[in-house]
A and B are shown apart, each in its own frame.
Chain A
Amino acid sequence: MRKAKIGVVVFPGSNCDHDSHFVVGEILGQDARFIWHKEGSVGDVDAVILPGGFSYGDYLRCGAIARFSPVMKDVVRFANAGGIVIGICNGFQILTEAGLLPGVLLRNESLRFICRDVFVRVENEQTRFTNACRPGDVLRIPIAHGEGNYFADDETLKGLEDHRQIVFRYSNATGDVTPEANPNGSLRNIAGIVNRSGNVLGMMPHPERAADPVLRRDDGRLVFESMVRSILRTEQVFEIVNQRS
């Protein structure tokens, strides 16, 4: 049976690359591979993960220098050709810097680095990253960032709302999107967005850190499962993946 080929880009300073690789390769049994940032091409993959971490020490701005890593040119090409790209945490910051997603991640309103579980409500379960979720699902996933405060101008925000591009919003455990549930000051409680064509997602929470049933919290697995489902597109795999969970 065909497996989904998913590449994890490794920048100097990435630190969630192995976690992402583990989830794809070990938890979901797919073909996971690393892509060194100096490669000129992402190679023969179905999807690319830009993992979390502190690429280039977060110097200048988070993601600003990684965006010019040699492989990024091909990641942009891959994304523009419709390839599936997910940026997690620092990966989300890199995607905004590279212009693949609108807006920017500012310093947390509290100025503090925040590392804890949060709840996010799935706002659109029809994306390539959420099709394994049910409408309105609330996922418990950790965040770990100092710059996760999503900002965009009003026009951009309106575009995101109008095209259902806001995929995850910070909420409480019962799914209410409230100011108290917002950990970092993000406009409209935005935790994750997708581009207009739906193939590029950025999210601040770390689904790869909550994807192994051994950890007893595996809500994050749904994000990776969704990606695999949309890559393989077969009923058979749907059943197999369902049996696993």
Chain B
Amino acid sequence: MHVQVTVTLRTSILDPQGKAVEHGIHSMGFASVGNVRIGKIVDLDVDTTDDKEALRVAEEIAKKLLANPVMEDFTVTLVRNGEHRK
């Protein structure tokens, strides 16, 4: 099973990288854009045919390694034929 983990900075955490990109976007002329935040996508293949098991494994990995709960949130999504399902 293919699982995608998305890791984002918690909203309470300042994202200086996102701020810098936002400045760039404003310099491009898109004044309407705000709240730019940068995160990470981690793709995993889990060797199982059980959806629940794949999500459980990915979630445990995300909790312990891929995201740091002090500063980050994460979501875990099953991907089948390019289609995302939570």
Interface string of B10-53 (1 = CB under 8 A from A): 00011011001000000000000000000010000000000000
Does A60 touch B at the CB level, under 8 Å? Answer: yes
Among A60, A96, A108, the residue within 8 A (CB) of B65 is A60
Contact count band on B: 10 to 19
Contact B16 A109 (CB under 8 A): yes
Contact B16 A64 (CB under 8 A): no
Does A68 touch B at the CB level, under 8 Å? Answer: yes
Does B55 touch A at the CB level, under 8 Å? Answer: no
How many positions in chain A have a CB within 8 Å of any CB in the partner chain? 19
Does B54 touch A at the CB level, under 8 Å? Answer: no
Contact B17 A111 (CB under 8 A): yes
Query: With a CB–CB cut-off of 8 A, which chain B residues contact A106?
Result: 13-14, 71
| A interface residues with partner B (beta carbon < 8 Å) | 60-61, 64-65, 68, 96-97, 103-104, 106-111, 151-153, 185
State the Cβ distance, A108 to closest chain B Cβ, in Å: 8
| B interface residues with partner A (beta carbon < 8 Å) | 13-14, 16-17, 20, 40, 65-66, 68, 70-71
Q: Can you list 30 A-B pairs with a CB-CB distance of less than 8 A?
A: A60-B65, A60-B66, A61-B68, A64-B65, A64-B68, A65-B65, A68-B65, A96-B70, A97-B68, A103-B70, A104-B68, A104-B70, A104-B71, A106-B13, A106-B14, A106-B71, A107-B16, A107-B17, A108-B16, A109-B14, A110-B16, A111-B16, A111-B17, A111-B20, A151-B13, A151-B70, A151-B71, A152-B70, A153-B70, A185-B14
5 shortest interchain CB distances as A-B pairs: A104-B70, A104-B71, A111-B16, A107-B16, A109-B16
Query: With a CB–CB cut-off of 8 A, which chain B residues contact A108?
Result: 16
Query: With a CB–CB cut-off of 8 A, which chain B residues contact A68?
Result: 65
Query: With a CB–CB cut-off of 8 A, which chain B residues contact A152?
Result: 70
Query: Which of B13, B16, B17: most chain A CB closer than 10 A?
Result: B16
**In the bound complex, CA of A79 to CA of B17 (Å):** 35
**In the bound complex, CA of A106 to CA of B19 (Å):** 14
Query: With a CB–CB cut-off of 8 A, which chain B residues contact A104?
Result: 68, 70-71
Residue of B nearest to A96 (CB): B70
Query: Which of A60, A109, A110, A111: most chain B CB closer than 10 A?
Result: A60
**In the bound complex, CA of A153 to CA of B12 (Å):** 9
**In the bound complex, CA of A108 to CA of B71 (Å):** 14
**In the bound complex, CA of A96 to CA of B71 (Å):** 12
Query: With a CB–CB cut-off of 8 A, which chain A residues contact B14?
Result: 106, 109, 185
**In the bound complex, CA of A107 to CA of B65 (Å):** 18
Query: With a CB–CB cut-off of 8 A, which chain B residues contact A153?
Result: 70
